[in-house]
Amino acid sequence: MTEKKELVASLQKNNFLSLQADCESCFGLCCVALPYAASTDFANDKEAGQPCQNLQADFRCGVHQNLRELGFRGCTVYDCFGAGQKVSQVTFGGNDWRQVPGSAKQMFDVFPVVRQLQELLWYLNEALTFQAARSIHGALSDAIDEIESLTQRSPESILGLDVAAHRATVNELLLQTSQLVRSKARHQQKSPTGHKKTAGRGENLRGADLMGAKLRGADLRGANLRGAYLIAADLRGADLRGADFIGADFRDADLRGADLTDSIFLIQAQLNAARGDADTKIPKSLLRPIHW
């Protein structure tokens, strides 16, 4: 049984690794394909398909270590979920847009589509890690196989996909996962003294406007925070275990000392957009942002 658990853990780790950006194997797609406008996140305007002024000939960023200081905070938040290397090395077989100029527009159009599919794969793979959702693990595995097969198609086929329909189907499974996991998080838990204490029913704060909210030390275990606006919210020391964060806006949220372990559908981009410190507890599948 122990060996089986270790095998499953190893497979899950490898799945997550393949869904993390590998810029060394990408042709700088996020630095070319995507547009941005001068704002607090970007120092200047850039059209879609126009290479960023900081992109070098080897597809590396010339100011990677100083992006935030130079006004490119948006670059430090963005995450492609591994779409960059997949489009570069799989969809287009390692032929970059500079070597085959005629493929540039198609490559740039395919990239955001695959990025959406890779994001779905991230959520589905995370759902498989929750034992509370084991009753639907079979359906989750089938969905992973289906979405993965879509990412392996030809550029023309990928561009013809109805991604919204696939997202809706996957979302039903993610909602089921969330309900199962949050239900468990809301159950009674043992206190350090051995007595049971009631964690309280998880708050339904889906889509709530919590911008600048004073939630320091709040007990939000098992809360539904899907799509919630947590911009600049004070969540210092908050207990967020088992909370669902899919689509939540964490820009400038203060997560210092907060406990985000066992949270549901929290992604790297959300952490990167927030503020935290060495005492912030995060899921094992994510990395502590270097600017914390």
pLDDT of res. 172: 98
Rounded to whole angstroms, how far apart are CA atoms 50 and 43?
15
Instruction: pLDDT band for 187, please (50, 70, 90 cuts).
Output: low
Residue 172 domain boundaries? 2-34+78-182
Above 60 in pLDDT, residue 155?
A: yes
Query: Residue 175: inside a domain, yes or no?
Result: yes
Above 90 in pLDDT, residue 4?
A: no
pLDDT of res. 18: 83
Question: What is the pTM assigned to this prediction?
Answer: 0.87
Tell me: do 178 and 212 sit in the same domain: no
Say how many CA atoms lie within 13 Å of 204 toward its Cβ.
2
Give 26's contacts (C-beta < 8 A, 6+ positions apart).
Answer: 59, 80, 84, 85, 87, 88
Instruction: From 126, 153, 182, give the residue that closes a domain.
Output: 182
Domain count, the chain: 2
CATH code of 274's domain: 2.160.20.80
> Range with the lowest mean pLDDT among 15-29, 109-123, 202-216?
15-29
H/E run at residue 197: strand 196-197
Give 50's contacts (C-beta < 8 A, 6+ positions apart).
Answer: 32, 35
Rounded to whole angstroms, how far apart are CA atoms 106 and 121?
23
pLDDT of res. 202: 66
Percent of the chain residues topping a pLDDT of 70: 89
For residue range 204-217, list pLDDT tens digits in order. 999 999 999 999 99
| Contact present, 220 and 240 (Cβ < 8 Å) | yes
Token digits of residue 18: 């393949």
- Give the other-Cβ count within 10 Å of 102's Cβ: 7
Above 70 in pLDDT, residue 56?
A: yes
Rounded to whole angstroms, how far apart are CA atoms 258 and 153?
41
Token digits of residue 289: 């942002």
> Any bridge partners for residue 244, and if so which?
224, 264
Query: Residue 43: inside a domain, yes or no?
Result: no
Tell me: do 169 and 256 sit in the same domain: no
Token digits of residue 260: 């985000």
Long-range CB contact pairs, 282-286, < 8 A, 24+: 285/16, 285/126, 285/129
Question: Terminus-to-terminus CA distance in the chain, angstroms?
Answer: 39
**Residue indicated by tokens 């527009």:** 105
> Any bridge partners for residue 189, and if so which?
197
Q: Is the model more confident about 187 or about 96?
A: 96
Tell me: do 139 and 268 sit in the same domain: no
Query: Residue 45: inside a domain, yes or no?
Result: no
Query: Residue 163: inside a domain, yes or no?
Result: yes
Tell me: do 148 and 279 sit in the same domain: no
Query: Residue 87: inside a domain, yes or no?
Result: yes
Tell me: do 240 and 206 sit in the same domain: yes
For residue range 249-276, list pLDDT tens digits in order. 999 999 999 999 999 999 999 999 999 9
Tell me: do 220 and 256 sit in the same domain: yes
Tell me: do 13 and 139 sit in the same domain: yes
Tell me: do 235 and 121 sit in the same domain: no
Rounded to whole angstroms, how far apart are CA atoms 292 and 284?
17
Could you tell me the sign of the dihedral formed by the alpha carbons of 62, 67, 72, 78, in that order? positive
Tell me: do 96 and 178 sit in the same domain: yes
Tell me: do 267 and 175 sit in the same domain: no
pLDDT of res. 186: 66
> Range with the lowest mean pLDDT among 98-107, 126-135, 172-181?
98-107
